[in-house]
Amino acid sequence: MPIVVETTNAEPSDREDVPSGLRSFREPRDDLPSPTIDLSRLRSGGPPPDGIPAIDDPTFYAASSVDYMEPQSPVLALEIDGDARAYPLDVMVWHEIVNDTVGGVPVAVEYCPLCNSATVFDRRVAGRVLDFGVSGLLYNSSLVMYDRQTETLWSHFAGVPLYGLLGEEELVDYPVTIVGFEEWRTAHPDGLVLSRETGHDRNYGVNPYPGYDDVDSDPFLFEGDVDGRYTAMTRVVGVALDPTPSTPSVAFPLLELREAGIATATLGDVAIVALWVPGSASALDRASVSAGVDVGATGVFSATVADRRLTFQTVDGTISDVETGSTWNIFGEAIAGELAGTRLDQLVHIDTFWFAWTAFHPDTDVVSP
């Protein structure tokens, strides 16, 4: 049996008696900040608010004791201040949000299956500790969440408010990677795995969106124009300096990245490297989350260590740097060689579909290896 590990979660702030963005977005109020988007673009995804229940009291297993997951089972990998946790997509696809505390930081861990994107945000905003729920609304076919303290609507994809009392705030984000379970556990044998003991009755392990990630299919309730450089559902790895549409951003097409294993770019004045390794199933391909086609895992990092620019290569699936010959894993850690124990600075990136990335970053550059 898996071993339960006790964890502590930050208490959210009290709910406030203030005008609700969630309840009034169809008829915006004068006593709330102006919306940051055209609210007519919000669409109901079907379920009502909290019809998809966020996990507010997560429980975790010791990674070494988990025996029910396949090596290729996709998980969201998050590490803050040495606290490494994996959030299996076979759970996340049913709940979309986990209100957790990792490394002492209250965070919202999120996965939107409709745009196939994972994000993590600090829940501390304007002197409050927020907890988030699923609003049931979509913006650009991506999850719109709301905080339960003020019922402000927020974009899961960009971490910015759309409408509500906190309309002038912004969430701080953390890097997160979708990776195969065994790849993660090998790197984090003492880590924690989100359990299926959620307090809800769901068919964990089953994908409720089979075939959704077909490259020639259409995104659900997306009404924008699709940038014609790729099909809407082409997988890309997106990186931006901040969430605003005008900021510099790049997209690495996944098919080309997986063929090369490595791609480089310069974003602003930061030299970055994108890495790819096999071993992670698509959560949206087959009826079983773990049985999907191998789409692999990506990581994006600064290519500079201690003012030294490194050049990376991959040979037979092994990532190394040319300068020292050190070997690196997908989490940006040197696991052998001169630089063993060194970590690259991980950058926030989003594995997502082309339509979603360009909806939020219409001027993005595309970088091919």
What is the rounded distance in angstroms from the CA atom of residue 83 to the CA atom of residue 80? Answer: 5
**What is the rounded radius of gyration, in angstroms, for the C-alpha atoms of the chain?**
20
Q: 301: which strand partners? A: 273, 346
Does 35 or 1 have the greater pLDDT score?
A: 35
pLDDT tens string 308-367: 999 999 998 899 999 999 999 999 999 999 999 999 999 999 999 999 999 999 999 999
pLDDT in tens, 120-177: 999 999 999 999 999 999 999 999 999 999 999 999 999 999 999 999 999 999 999 9
Does residue 247 carry a pLDDT above 90? no
Confidence category of residue 21, pLDDT binned at 50, 70, 90? very high
Show the tokens assigned to 9.
Answer: 């979660």
> Mean pLDDT throughout 182-201?
97
Cα dihedral 333/334/339/344 (nearest 10): -30
Cα separation, 363 vs 169, in Å, equals: 24
CA 343 vs CA 175, 257, 290, 329: distances in Å: 14, 22, 29, 10
- Alpha helices (runs of H) in 127-286, residue ranges in sequence order: 181-187, 254-260
Coil vs helix vs strand at 228? coil
Q: Look up the pTM and report it.
A: 0.97
Percent of the chain predicted with pLDDT > 70? 100
> What pLDDT sits at residue 346?
97
Q: Which residue segments constitute the domains of the chain, with CATH numbers given?
A: 4-178 (no CATH), 232-366 (2.102.10)
> What is the distance of C-alpha 253 from the center of its chain?
17
Tell me: the pLDDT tens digits for 277-314? Answer: 999 999 999 999 999 999 999 999 999 999 999 999 99
What is the pLDDT, as a whole number, of residue 242?
A: 75
Pair 22, 48: CB distance under 8 Å: no
pLDDT recorded at residue 61: 98
Please report which confidence band the pLDDT of residue 251 belongs to, taking 50, 70 and 90 as the band edges. very high
Q: Which of 92, 69, 72 is nearest to 294 (CA)?
A: 72
pLDDT-based confidence at residue 268 (cuts at 50, 70, 90): confident
Phi, psi of 153 (to 5 degrees): -85, 140
Q: Is 279 helix (H, G, I), strand (E, B) or coil?
A: coil
pLDDT(250) > 90: yes
Q: What SS3 class is residue 150?
A: coil
Contact indicator for 86, 76 with CB cutoff of 8 Å: yes
Q: Which parts of the chain fold into alpha helices (H)? A: 21-24, 89-95, 181-187, 254-260, 354-360
The answer to whether 88 and 130 are in contact (CB under 8 A) is: no
Question: Can you give the pLDDT at residue 257?
Answer: 97
Which phi and psi (to 5°) does residue 77 adopt? -105, 120
| Residue 55 CA: distances (Å) to CA of 21, 134, 160, 262, 332 | 22, 10, 21, 35, 29
The pLDDT, as a whole number, for residue 368 is 86
pLDDT at 246: 72
**Cα distance between residue 59 and residue 10, in whole Å:** 14
Q: Give the DSSP letter of residue 155.
A: E
Residue 317 pLDDT: 86
Residue 101 scores a pLDDT above 80: yes
